[in-house]
Structure 1
Amino acid sequence: MRKNRNRVSVALIFVLWGILGIFFLLPETALAQDRIPACPPLGKTLKMIKPLREMNWANDTISVLVAFPATFRGTGRNEIVDNVFALTPLLERLRQVRAGFSEDTVRIVHIGDSHVRGHIYPRTAGALLAETFGAVSYTDMGVNGATCLTFTHPERIADIAALKPELLILSFGTNESHNRRYNTNLHYNQMDELVKLLRDSLPDVPIILTTPPGSYESFRQRKRRRTYAINPRTAIATETIHHYARNHNLVVWDMYEVVGGKRRACTNWTEAKLMRPDHVHYLPEGYILQGTLLYQALIKAYNDYVSR
């Protein structure tokens, strides 16, 4: 009996010894699983890997400094009046292109009179937009001496529609206001005829109406030297453009007011020596300033949009 008990005791000692040996030989990691970080919940993981561009979406503004020549006085706020948010689709497209979410080119078409026909004014704005956003196509179509009626021919409307613009900019008013028999109602109706034709072909495209930059009219009495006086009808034509835009939910960029309006626009241009001798057209530096101002107004509209 004693021998059997001794054998059992010895066996138990070996069993216990074996268990303790296995316990101490186990790797440390098997005894410390709590040190391994637990996987975060799926929802939390997705929230943390939010794209950087989306996180900074509200701050995706563009710095722009409005700089006039030192001689300019009494300038106005350089902004686009868009009370119905007509430019929202265009501004969203620009944001998508700038963020790299779209590779489609944003197409802008600018039509107008000799100020546009000279190319420098519209192409300055277009080049700056392309530099800022990348894929921007900016096409200008200008005609010397043009009024709104000049573009109301079917072939011209077809040419504009074929470009598939996402924004139309209409720059008229200088030649309308140079007619000493200028008539507000006639000017209003001519704008309406052009806009209706464009709307028929491009119903969803936003339209910006711009105002004239300002000009003089000339006088000559007998053999005396030709003299120049500020054209008083420019201010009336500008108000007619605003009136039409308000009645038809269109967008306006009032360049006349930006550069000084009735009080200072023409004086600012001449004192800065930016007008040609005819006192109607501008030197290249003048048109570059006009294009830069249009670009800056569009950027302000863009910044207001992305900040909303």
Structure 2
Amino acid sequence: STEFTLRGRGHERMVVHYARGPGGGLMSVEVEGEEIAAVETGSEVAAPGWWTVALPGGAREVELVVKRGPVRVFAVSFEGSGPGVIYDSLGLNGASAATLVYSQNEAHWAAQLRGVRPSLVVLNYGTNESGFDRYVATTYREDVRKMIQRVKRALPGTPVLVMSPMDRGVRESAGEIGTVPALPGLVKIQREVALEEGCAFFNTFASMGGAGTMGKWYSIQPRLVSADFIHPLPAGGRIVANLLERSLMRGYNLYKLRLLRGAEIAEARP
């Protein structure tokens, strides 16, 4: 079983993403130790399943329990009807554009995306690929294109934002911390393909300061990046998050301004 402690208010329902198929089992949801719902996961054919359970007001201790047989759960979310954002992250160690293109079952991936019904898909890859100069210079462009096209086939009409990797530092021969050579070219490829495929693009690398940023982040006190010059520490992560949020909100405000100006022009016409 898996236990969850809910903090704050507004959790009205629990959504369980799971696998249905032959030989499935039985799982239940308990709140404060009492069972409130159960579902059989067995079916004649393998397929993704989504189970929504209404939570009683004030629920705090929630437990997902396997009652019988094999049960495979992909994710759990707690949601409400108030304002806010539901953020789903597929963060795999060592993941790359090629992971999405060659290592995932496209039909299953598409079904999962459609089940979530996202308002925006953010593709944030590139750090792992930046260590392979030849790959970036040869086949990377087409892998990025295939990755985007997979998402677009699954979710026609859904906005896609390609978010470039951060700077990636490397210790150079003179002892200074520079940037891995392939990274600027990789970011350029991402931008070109994103725009060709009708996606938005956020240049994380340039927004945080460009080449040499991780060296600066490691040298200052307190440090903003770990000793691998790749993974930001919490304070560094907040900087990147704020840069993205400000860019998104600036674009949103410009969009609202265009709508307003369009309405004013329409009203002014005789």
CA contact (8 A) 1:177 1:234 kept: yes
Residue number in structure 1 paired with 2:213: 265
Give the structure with higher Rg (CA).
1
SS of residue matched to 2:87: strand
Q: Calculate percent identity across the aligned residue pairs.
A: 24
Separation in 2, partners of 1:268, 1:258: 14
Higher-strand-fraction structure: 2
Residue number in structure 2 paired with 1:281: 231
Give yes or no for the alignment of 1:300 onto 2:253.
no
Higher-helix-fraction structure: 1
Residue number in structure 2 paired with 1:189: 142
Separation in 1, partners of 2:115, 2:94: 24
Separation in 2, partners of 1:219, 1:166: 42
Separation in 2, partners of 1:209, 1:183: 17
Residue number in structure 2 paired with 1:74: none
Residue number in structure 1 paired with 2:84: 135
Separation in 1, partners of 2:178, 2:213: 13
- What TM-score, normalized to structure 2? 0.58
Residue 227 of structure 1 and its aligned partner are, at CA, apart by 7.7
- 1:270 is matched by which residue type in structure 2? Y
Give yes or no for the alignment of 1:148 onto 2:97.
yes
Q: How big is each residue's C-alpha offset from its partner over 1:85-134, in whole Å with a ceiling of 9 and x where there is no partner?
A: xxxxxxxxxxxxxxxxxxxxxxxxxxxxxxxxxxxxxxxxxxxxxxxx92
When residues 212 and 239 of structure 1 are mapped into structure 2, their CA distance, relative to the original with a 3 A threshold, is same
SS of residue matched to 1:139: coil
SS of residue matched to 1:169: strand
Unpaired segments ≥5 residues, structure 2: 1-81, 259-270
Residue 285 of structure 1 and its aligned partner are, at CA, apart by 1.2
Give the number of aligned pairs: 172
Q: How big is each residue's C-alpha offset from its partner over 1:174-203, in whole Å with a ceiling of 9 and x where there is no partner?
A: 111111433334111111111111111101
Give yes or no for the alignment of 1:254 onto 2:203.
yes
Question: Match for 1:235 among 184, 188, 195?
Answer: 184
Q: How big is each residue's C-alpha offset from its partner over 1:113-164, in whole Å with a ceiling of 9 and x where there is no partner?
A: xxxxxxxxxxxxxxxxxxxx92321211111111012123123343333211
Separation in 2, partners of 1:276, 1:157: 35
Residue 219 of structure 1 and its aligned partner are, at CA, apart by 7.0
Residue 291 of structure 1 and its aligned partner are, at CA, apart by 1.3
- 2:253 is matched by which residue type in structure 1? N
CA contact (8 A) 1:257 1:265 kept: no
CA contact (8 A) 2:163 2:202 kept: yes
CA contact (8 A) 2:218 2:224 kept: yes
Q: Write out aligned runs for 1:75-114 (5 A).
A: none
Q: Which sits farther off after the overlay, 179-188 or 276-285?
A: 179-188
Higher relative contact order (CA 8 A, sep 6+): 1
Separation in 1, partners of 2:176, 2:215: 15
Give yes or no for the alignment of 1:163 onto 2:112.
no
When residues 193 and 141 of structure 1 are mapped into structure 2, their CA distance, relative to the original with a 3 A threshold, is same
Give yes or no for the alignment of 1:178 onto 2:131.
yes
Q: How big is each residue's C-alpha offset from its partner over 1:53-105, in whole Å with a ceiling of 9 and x where there is no partner?
A: xxxxxxxxxxxxxxxxxxxxxxxxxxxxxxxxxxxxxxxxxxxxxxxxxxxxx
When residues 199 and 282 of structure 1 are mapped into structure 2, their CA distance, relative to the original with a 3 A threshold, is same
Unpaired segments ≥5 residues, structure 1: 1-132, 221-225
CA contact (8 A) 2:145 2:197 kept: no
